[in-house]
Chain A
């Protein structure tokens, strides 16, 4: 414990240095804007801004991206409460009672409770991340190639199981991503695969152009032709103060949302979306007056907002401790780490302790920054919605181009971005989840390497995956999930997505979790 506190103190020393502090602030600010704007989700925002981090050192880059991620979670509540427009998918539940409160003249109080709930949940869940990630990483140091292979397969299967729609759809997406990851030089033999004489393909399909295309460009394509002229009314500062009764009613939902969100966030899948849905239904079920829900119940704002922020920190646990992204946003952040030459995985905390603890400390700092940003300046952020989308999206397209081109100074990457954008647009339009594609692309080289290393270790015997207890356990869980997913297909039983209320998948023009 003393060692943890000492490491955290060192982390704060880095996080509070003027440069890192500035990037935390910029990340939170940009994230809030991304959350407020209905046309740009956290995924699209991070994808589009990922290339901006190339010129930064690894710590500043991760701090900036993390700031965007949880900033978007905070910002998403603003338009949900004031205008019934969810800035991102996790804020859908906040719309229901948040907007009802606005109609009753309590929009300011709803915003305050959402911000305070997010702050409390964010801070407590970082504590959870801080306590859980180091022992998990230490445990994962026992992992060899078979365990790593099983872990990555399990991650993909859990994501597929948790995704909306039949499991075969998500598995197809994951297989497609893994296949895309096979392009380029084979790491074990040096043979080039599927490069068709294009030298840029020899290095493989880049994660950045695919991520920017799949999430950023497809979002622009889906939102095209929409110039919303919503009525904007920002609350005054004095309207932000909740009553004593509202504080009291919110306390328990914030606590429950924090715990639920953190636990759900750790599991691969759209944790921040699922957690807000689960939290809302839990609060309604526990309430003595469930009939108030939908008509301005403050618990319906406090619980989901706390849960989706807590899930954000939860998602960092497998990413930082195991190098396993639990969803598309962590996958892109993992890609950012690799671009900066950092090998993700359990050794990260031993080899780069200053980076790990600086990111953790910056999250605490970021939460304070966001609380300050999201209450007094709410009026300014809401005004961002006055920018016509017909000017905004061409600018976003230009930023995407700069970012993608600057990775390798190659127009092949820009072509890849365009193709991925088209594919993402069509797939999202048809209600297919695209997160497994990017996860597959990120994990493909590691899965292949650990698979072949495992077989080399066992002289070609596949029993190695089942004689190692950890690997066997993870594969068994994966197989169970696969069978459960198949069962729900054949028996038409409700899958996890339907049970948690996240089906159907984000439709056209809506946010992809």
Chain B
């Protein structure tokens, strides 16, 4: 069996998403076609997305195979996305400086394998310098962590 094409995969995901939206709009008043309520536009758009997704699936039968897409940078990408998730989780718990310090250290020393000393120096200088620049000088509110860090 030949693998699915990129368009078939993406179209199916979008179709599933539009069906999910249609399901979720059940509780929002649709109003009438002549006097649309808050649920009308999301319903119309989800229907339009569903129609386009089906057209993408049907029209994409002979396109590029999903299996042929090379994800050579996936290890780095996973590391970076993990770093994003860590920032979102830790920012208000550990504060800006500690969070960014840990994130930079992990990315530079572990993901990029640049050595621990280079990682520590870069992470410490960058996190404290940017905090001083943005929080102290430019007055951008950045979260404080334990010990005022």
Q: Give A residues with C-beta under 8 Å from B.
A: 54-55, 166, 168-169, 171-172, 175-176, 178-179, 182, 186, 188-189, 191, 193-194, 217, 220-226, 388, 390-391, 393-395, 397-399, 401-402, 405-406, 409, 411, 414-415, 417-418, 421-422, 425, 427, 429-432, 447-448, 451-452, 455-456, 459-461, 489, 508-509
Contact = CB atoms under 8 A, between A and B. Distances in A.
Given A189-B37, A390-B112, A406 B141 contact: yes
Given A172-B56, A398-B103, A460 B34 contact: yes
A451 B36 contact: yes
29 contacts: A55-B138, A166-B59, A166-B60, A168-B56, A168-B59, A172-B14, A178-B45, A179-B21, A179-B42, A179-B49, A182-B41, A182-B45, A189-B37, A221-B73, A225-B76, A388-B114, A394-B112, A395-B104, A398-B103, A402-B130, A405-B143, A409-B141, A411-B88, A414-B88, A415-B85, A431-B6, A451-B36, A460-B32, A489-B59
B72 interface: yes
Nearest to A416: B88
Determine the main DSSP class of A at the interface with B.
helix
Contact of B45 (A175, A189, A217): A175
Contacts of A394: 83, 103-104, 107-108, 112
A226 B81 CA distance: 17
Q: Which 7 A-B pairs have the closest CB atoms?
A: A460-B34, A224-B76, A186-B38, A418-B84, A390-B112, A175-B49, A168-B55
Given A186-B38, A451-B41, A393 B104 contact: no
A225 B42 contact: no
B19 interface: no
Contact of B122 (A54, A391, A461): A391
Contacts of A193: 28, 38-39, 42
Contact of A221 (B6, B80, B91, B142): B80
Contact of B142 (A54, A178, A391, A405): A405
Interface string B15-46: 00110010010001100111111110110011
B95 to A, nearest CB: 12
Nearest to B76: A224
A398 B28 contact: no
A226 B76 CA distance: 10
A412 B141 CA distance: 16
Interface in B115-134: 122, 126-127, 130, 134
A168 B143 CA distance: 43
B38 A418 contact: no
Given A168-B59, A394-B103, A179 B46 contact: yes
B149 interface: no
B73 A222 contact: yes
B24 to A, nearest CB: 6
B42 to A, nearest CB: 4
Given A182-B41, A409-B143, A461-B34, 20 more contacts: A166-B60, A168-B59, A172-B53, A179-B46, A182-B45, A191-B38, A193-B28, A193-B42, A221-B81, A224-B79, A225-B73, A225-B75, A390-B114, A399-B130, A405-B143, A406-B141, A411-B89, A415-B85, A460-B32, A460-B33
A418 B36 contact: no
Nearest to B79: A224
B77 interface: yes
B101 to A, nearest CB: 10
Contact of A393 (B10, B21, B38, B80): B80
Contacts, number: 172
B147 interface: no
Nearest to A188: B38
Interface of B: 6-7, 9-11, 14, 17-18, 21, 24, 28-29, 32-39, 41-42, 45-46, 48-49, 52-53, 55-56, 59-60, 64, 66, 69-73, 75-77, 79-81, 83-85, 87-89, 91-92, 96, 100, 103-104, 107-108, 112, 114, 122, 126-127, 130, 134, 138-143
Given A179-B21, A224-B76, A414-B87, A55 B34 contact: no
A458 to B, nearest CB: 9
A169 B56 contact: yes
Contact of A391 (B28, B48, B108): B108
A118 B120 CA distance: 43
Nearest to B71: A429
Contacts of B142: 402, 405-406
A391 B108 CA distance: 7
Contact of B87 (A55, A166, A401, A509): A401
Nearest to A189: B38
Contacts of B10: 427, 430, 432
A447 B41 CA distance: 10
A209 to B, nearest CB: 11
B102 to A, nearest CB: 11
Contact of B84 (A169, A191, A414): A414
Contacts of A421: 81, 84
A451 B126 CA distance: 48
B53 A425 contact: no
Contacts of A171: 48, 52
Contacts of B59: 166, 168, 489
Contacts of B17: 176
B81 A418 contact: yes
Contacts of A431: 6, 64
Contacts of A186: 38
Nearest to B139: A55
B100 A401 contact: yes
Nearest to A171: B52
B49 to A, nearest CB: 4
A194 B100 CA distance: 32
Contacts of B92: 411
